[in-house]
Amino acid sequence: MNDTTAAWPLWEVFIRSKQGLEHKHAGSLHAVDAKQAVQMARDVYTRRMEGVSIWVVPSEAITASDPDDKAEMFGPMEDKIYRHPSFYKLPREVEHM
Amino acid sequence: MYTQSLDTAKPESGEAHTPTVSAAQALFTAKMRADKKVEPRDWMPDAYRKTLVRQISQHAHSEVVGMLPEGNWISRAPSLKRKAILLAKVQDEAGHGLYLYSAAETLGTSREQMQDALHSGRAKYSSIFNYPTLTWADVGAIGWLVDGAAIMNQVPLCRCSYGPYARAMIRICKEESFHQRQGFEIMLTLAHGTVAQKTMAQDALNCWWWPTVMMFGPPDAASIHSTTSSQWGIKRISNDDLRQKFIDATVPQAELLGLTIPDPDLTWNAECGHYDIGTINWDDFWKVVNGDGPCNRERLATRVKAHEEGAWVREAALAHAAKQRARSLKEAA
């Protein structure tokens, strides 16, 4: 196969499933530009009314945390259970605080 | 649609690990034991990555090639309703191919590499698509039987250890149920139709039954990769168990249709609570896998032709986008 065509860039697709909810990552696709990426995302990810709004982001524009840094990134929160309301034992009378 | 449980690659012999990798390997093994998920940038053994690339891309190719036997019937379906339904189903298959290619790409392979592997004949796709769809009933049988078998296989894959594959499978399974039901409805309509229509439905069942039963892959005893794949949480249920599950679910459906499964040895085994079936002709299966099925050459040639004839469109779209970008930059300046 002598395919001279350069690869189309990769886009990440985010879908808002209904008004009032956040856009959530749905998947990715290849498209030549943002406009085409939105059109394709519509055909691929909203064929059954899964969305009312679409975001597309070039995949290369995303900066992600390093999985190898997981321990130092997220570990320090492990012993800070006082950040959760359940840490505090209150008298029965104020149970609904 | 789905990939058959068939691993054509030779099993990797004991992996050599450098000392630095062994800590990561230990973590990975612990993760597998605890049934945790692996995400794209996590460390994973090369063999795990290779197995996934092979399985997911094979699965994606099956979705794409799977459009061909049905696409053939979009313009010939008996009513506008049936045409619209078939069109929607084929569009779903294209979408499933895309979800799966995307999942495979997260493992470091490119769409071009995968397509090249398919077009050059190195990569396999499900052998079931190397059978022809000669009548409208064949389209019904594909939905009912082939997609029914696919669902059996795909549901456990939703719990696969590799995150992107599992997520793609969840999406696919949600859409697949419509495929099976529309197929069964086609069969039901034909089975309640004229004598000629019912005969057509029975002929389709005769054609598709054994190839579908074989879709689950070789018997467990002969399946080279099952053990590693199950340790890795890629394969959750064995070929034979899935096949039995499919048979037990499908036999009563055939009875409901008033059609006969083409297996004189098919009997209900009250003792174990399952149907026993006759001997599977694996020679026929391997013949089709190895390239000599009724449509192997035609399917691949159609794919290659579509890809090559679409090259100028892909190129033009890219050039158009570049021109638009340059224009908007100029206007902004």
pLDDT per residue over A6-26, tens digit each? 789 999 999 999 999 999 999
Which pTM was predicted? 0.90
For chain A, say whether B177 makes contact (Cβ under 8 Å). Answer: no
- Which one is predicted more confidently, B290 or B230? B290
Mean pLDDT of chain B: 91
pLDDT at residue B13 in the model: 45
Give the start-end residues of each E strand in chain B. 267-269, 274-276
Averaged over B63-71, what is the pLDDT? 96
pLDDT above 60 for B1: no
How many other CB atoms are found less than 10 A from the CB of residue B93? Answer: 24
Which residues from B are below 8 Å from A7, CB to CB? Answer: 110-112
Q: Which long-range contacts (CB under 8 A, 24 or more apart) does B7-16 make?
A: B7/B51, B7/B54, B7/B55, B7/B223, B7/B224, B7/B225, B7/B229, B8/B124, B8/B289, B9/B50, B9/B54, B9/B225, B10/B224, B11/B224, B11/B225, B11/B228, B12/B47, B12/B50, B15/B45, B15/B46, B15/B47
Residues sharing a CB contact under 8 Å with residue B119, sequence separation 6 or more, in sequence order: A1, B300, B303, B304, B307
pLDDT tens, position by position, B147-157: 999 999 999 99
State the best of A4, A15, A25, A33 to mutate against chain B, taking most chain B CBs within 10 Å: A33
Task: Indicate if the alpha-carbon torsion angle B202, B63, B179, B68 is positive or negative.
Answer: negative
Find the closest chain B residue to A5 by CA distance. B315
Query: What is the complex's ipTM, to 2 decimals?
Result: 0.85
A1 close to B (CB below 8 A): yes
What would the two tokens of residue B83 be? 């045409």
pLDDT at B162 over 70: yes
Are A8 and B88 in contact (CB < 8 Å)? no
The mean per-residue pLDDT over the stretch B249-268 comes to 97
Instruction: Name the residue in chain A with its Cα closest to that of B309.
Output: A3
pLDDT at A70 over 60: yes
Chain A CB contacts of B314 under 8 Å are: 5, 8
Residue B282 has pLDDT above 60, yes or no: yes
Question: Encoding tokens for residue B292?
Answer: 């000599």
Strands A10-16 and A23-30: antiparallel
Residue type (1 letter), B99: Y
Structure tokens at B277: 């079936």
Is the model's pLDDT at B24 over the cut of 90?
no
Give tens-digit pLDDT for B214-230.
999 999 887 666 677 77
Q: What is the pLDDT of residue A2?
A: 41
Residues contacting B303, CB < 8 A, separation 6+: B64, B65, B68, B118, B119
Q: Which of residues 284-313 of B touch A (CB under 8 A)?
A: 304, 307-308, 311
Contact B144, B81 (CB under 8 A): no
The residue among B100, B106, B171 with the most chain A CBs within 10 A of its CB, best to mutate, is: B171
What's the CA gap between A55 and A67, in Å, rounded? 25
Statement: residue B253 has pLDDT above 70: yes
A65 in reach of chain B (CB within 8 A): no
- For residue B131, pLDDT beyond 70: yes
* Residue B10: pLDDT over 50: no
